């Protein structure tokens, strides 16, 4: 294991911001990951584990500890019957190449999560989701290094406390586990409606009625390409804000003023209002604030056009949050995690 020093985090985060990691190492096996954690503990160093850096914001001062780049690979079929296939995935696998492989096997369950940047290990952390599917729907268990007890553990679905873009790994168990593998269960049944509205619209427009995992993958890839900028070309972290979850009375009140407001009922007492819509209505779409552009095709995405550092992003973020607050009395929250 080669531990490097002073590695720019801007090179490992798709928002392309952030100063150096004091120490930086790749882990290609669970044992390497464990050894890195143990070594850091002995030397009293903080540790942060990263995947593709596509949902991660780094600060200008960098990280005064060890950043572990998770490169643990693996794609292992551990069960297979007439209805389903269970696959164990290395946490360092590229998420989209895994989706491609499962679609090639004609398996359903994650095809609508095509073209999401990032790695397998990051998917359960924020309960990644798109176009009507989320990882929690197919999740069986994950394996992780437990940094408190210095042992490998298996966590089942219940232990992860998945909810909309959230899990224990972002909250009470932050820093507790280094995820090494994720096991998911995919179906052999063809994808079936009802589909997410934007997906159905695309299928209708192209007269598609024969639903296969490959068709869903192609449709979602095309839809995403039309509204989500490629982070390799325009630095960004996907949705920069979570959608707003509000109580029924807030939704009902707003709906009388804004009858065209899109919203989805989440449960009996809550609605989800798209933050992209709130930001657009607050007139930020297409605007550049402190070198950060609110994407013209999707106001939920912030693009780093020419920010000189983290503070520019923080200032732009605050302007957007305050603008939405002033207009709607709703406080939207950042989606990407922060390192440091």
**Positions marked active-site:** 165, 239, 335
Longest CA pairwise span in the chain (Å) = 61
Report the residue number, 131 or 145, with the smaller CB distance to ligand EPU: 131
Give the footprint of ligand EPU on residues 106-135 (CB under 6 A): 130-131
Joined together, the tokens standing for residue 201 give 């619209």
Does position 300 interact with ligand EPU (CB under 6 A)? The reply is: yes
Sequence-distant (6+) residues with CB within 8 A of 125 are 55, 167, 169, 170, 179, 337
Give the footprint of ligand EPU on residues 4-43 (CB under 6 A): none
Shortest distance, CB of residue 231 to ligand EPU, whole angstroms?
10
Tell me which of 16, 69, 217, 242 binds ligand EPU, using CB under 6 A: 242
C-alpha separations of 145 from 78, 152, 168, 206 in Å = 21, 4, 15, 46
Reduce the DSSP state of residue 49 to 3 states and report it: strand
- Tell me the torsion sign for CA atoms 279, 285, 289, 293: positive
Report the residue number, 20 or 231, with the smaller CB distance to ligand EPU: 231
Give the Cα separation of 337 and 340 in Å (integer): 10
Residue 216 and residue 191 in contact, taking contact as beta carbons nearer than 8 Å:
yes
Does position 251 interact with ligand EPU (CB under 6 A)? The reply is: no
Q: For the chain, what is the radius of gyration of the CA atoms?
A: 20
Does position 274 interact with ligand EPU (CB under 6 A)? The reply is: yes
Size of the site for ligand EPU (CB under 6 A): 20
Does position 285 interact with ligand EPU (CB under 6 A)? The reply is: yes
Does position 203 interact with ligand EPU (CB under 6 A)? The reply is: no
Tell me which of 90, 312, 335, 339 binds ligand EPU, using CB under 6 A: 335
Q: Which residues of 113-134 are buried (b: 16+ CB within 10 A; e: fewer)?
A: bbbbbbbbbbbbbbbbbbbbbb
Report the residue number, 21 or 316, with the smaller CB distance to ligand EPU: 316
Point out which span in 31-39, 167-175, 234-242, 306-314 binds ligand EPU (CB under 6 A): 234-242
Shortest distance, CB of residue 63 to ligand EPU, whole angstroms?
23
Positions touching ligand EPU (CB under 6 A) are 130-131, 165, 196, 198, 228, 238-239, 242-243, 262, 274, 276-277, 280, 285, 298-300, 335
């Amino acid at each position: 294991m080669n531990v490097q020093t002073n590695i720019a985090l801007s090179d490992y985060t798709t928002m392309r911001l952030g100063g150096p990691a004091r120490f930086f190492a790749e882990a290609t096996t669970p044992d390497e990951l464990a050894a890195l954690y143990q070594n850091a503990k002995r030397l009293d160093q903080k540790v942060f584990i990263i995947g593709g850096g596509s949902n991660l914001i780094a600060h200008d001062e960098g990280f005064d500890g060890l950043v572990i780049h998770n490169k643990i690979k693996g794609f292992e079929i551990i069960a297979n019957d007439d209805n389903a296939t269970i696959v164990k995935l290395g946490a360092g696998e590229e998420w989209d190449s895994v989706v491609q492989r499962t679609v090639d096997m004609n398996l359903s369950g994650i095809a609508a999560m095509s073209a999401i940047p990032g790695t397998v290990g990051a998917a359960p952390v924020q309960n990644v989701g798109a176009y009507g599917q989320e990882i929690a729907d197919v999740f069986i268990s994950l394996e992780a290094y437990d940094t408190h007890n210095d042992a490998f553990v298996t966590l089942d679905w219940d232990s992860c406390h998945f909810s909309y873009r959230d899990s224990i790994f972002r909250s009470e168990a932050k820093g507790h586990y280094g995820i090494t593998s994720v096991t998911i269960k995919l179906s052999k049944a063809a994808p079936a409606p009802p589909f997410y509205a934007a997906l159905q619209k695309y299928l209708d427009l192209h007269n598609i009625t024969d639903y296969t995992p490959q068709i869903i993958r192609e449709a979602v890839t095309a839809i995403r390409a039309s509204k989500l900028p490629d982070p390799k070309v325009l630095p960004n972290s996907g949705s920069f804000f979570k959608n707003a979850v509000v109580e029924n009375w807030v939704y009902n009140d707003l709906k009388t003023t804004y009858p065209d407001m899109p919203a989805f009922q989440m449960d009996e007492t809550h609605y989800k209002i798209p933050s992209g819509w709130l930001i657009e209505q607050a007139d930020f779409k297409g605007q550049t604030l402190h070198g950060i552009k609110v994407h013209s095709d999707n106001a939920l995405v912030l693009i780093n056009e020419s920010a000189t550092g983290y503070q520019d992003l923080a200032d732009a973020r605050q302007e957007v949050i305050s603008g939405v607050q002033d207009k709607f009395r709703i406080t939207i929250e950042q989606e990407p995690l922060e390192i440091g």
